[in-house]
């Protein structure tokens, strides 16, 4: 099983590298595209890619399953990415990357409330407080402490929406992951359509004659929206949810590093300290929770 374990770790790492860098390419597209335009193009490309890879239809779903698919599409595709993309117009990509990484905290809380999973331990909330302190340091970034928190608050809202999506997807079972993902994409695009009129959507495909824009949207559509679902789910199947989930906390580190290299965003000492504090808080909270769950599943240590 060592070979399978290696493949699982590689898949998880590849997923996180793509997701961590996705903020950067979204930021590049925002120079000439509205957030709703990026969202629409990205998920249409992702949906077409999933259809090409696995064209078989999804059959035999109940009304309750369809409602869950629809709610997941609304949260995970439409509202989450719309909030995230709009946040990128107000704040730095590195800020968004770090703040979005708080989604596992909200997921754990909502899972306990709505899925009746184990209540988080005290260490979970200590880690959460540490992470929030780190987020605050990164948001202010050692600047003039200007209170222009719209982008950061939108990113935090996106994290909460993603937690709702995570709870919804846990309720979806009994069908192949790629088919479920495709159905979620369909509902997400459907809910997205009204926002196109609100946010001055323009088709104007000629903009993609710019090679950088074309590469960016293909990266987001084929990589971050289609491929990542496959690689992430493969990692979960191979390594288990516990080991795979730890990788998600590398997202802000990758995003901050990519922001400095690609967008030339300055990383101050205060922002670096905030990143370290956020990651430390996340690891403290999640690792303690995971260890407790693993102990229950595996029995007492020998």
> Domain span at residue 56?
2-298
3-state secondary structure of 31: coil
For residue 287, the model assigns a pLDDT of 63
Q: Note the pLDDT tens digit of each residue in 135-180.
A: 777 766 655 444 457 888 898 899 899 888 888 887 775 677 788 8
How much of the chain exceeds pLDDT 90, in percent? 24
Check pLDDT > 80 for residue 262: no
For residue 148, the model assigns a pLDDT of 52
pTM: 0.80
pLDDT band at 301 (very low <50, low <70, confident <90, very high): very low
Structural domains counted in the chain: 1
Q: Name which residue leads in pLDDT, 14 or 109.
A: 14
Per the CB < 8 A criterion, the answer to whether 204 and 32 are in contact is: no
Q: What is the DSSP string of 174-192?
A: SS-HHHHHHHHHHHHHHHH
Q: What angle do CA 273, 80, 165 make, to 5 degrees?
A: 100
Mean pLDDT over each residue of the chain, to the nearest integer = 80
């Amino acid at each position: 099983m060592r070979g399978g374990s290696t493949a699982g770790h590689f898949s998880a790492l590849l997923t996180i590298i793509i997701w961590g860098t996705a903020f950067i390419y979204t930021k590049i597209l925002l120079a000439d595209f509205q957030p709703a335009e990026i969202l629409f193009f990205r998920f249409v490309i992702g949906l077409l890619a999933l259809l090409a890879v696995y064209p078989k239809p999804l059959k035999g779903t109940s009304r309750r399953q369809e409602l869950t698919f629809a709610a997941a599409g609304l949260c995970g595709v439409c509202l989450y990415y719309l909030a995230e993309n709009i946040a990128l117009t107000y704040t730095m990509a590195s800020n968004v990357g770090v703040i979005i990484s708080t989604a596992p905290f909200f997921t754990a809380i909502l899972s306990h409330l709505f899925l009746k999973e184990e209540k988080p331990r005290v260490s979970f909330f200590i880690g959460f407080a540490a992470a929030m302190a780190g987020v605050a340091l990164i948001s202010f970034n050692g600047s003039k402490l200007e209170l222009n928190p719209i982008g950061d608050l939108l990113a935090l809202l996106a994290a909460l929406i993603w937690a709702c999506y995570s709870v919804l997807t846990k309720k979806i079972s009994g069908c192949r992951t790629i088919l479920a993902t495709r159905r979620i994409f369909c509902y997400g695009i459907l809910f997205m359509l009204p926002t196109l009129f609100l946010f001055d959507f323009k088709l104007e495909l000629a903009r993609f004659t710019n090679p950088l824009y074309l590469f960016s949207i293909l990266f987001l559509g084929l990589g971050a929206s289609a491929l990542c679902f496959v690689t992430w789910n493969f990692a979960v199947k191979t390594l288990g949810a516990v080991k795979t989930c730890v990788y998600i906390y590398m997202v802000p580190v990758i995003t901050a590093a990519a922001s400095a290299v690609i967008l030339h965003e300055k990383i101050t000492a205060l922002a670096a300290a905030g990143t370290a504090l956020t990651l430390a808080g996340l690891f403290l909270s999640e690792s303690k929770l995971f260890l407790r769950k693993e102990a229950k599943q595996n029995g007492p240590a020998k």
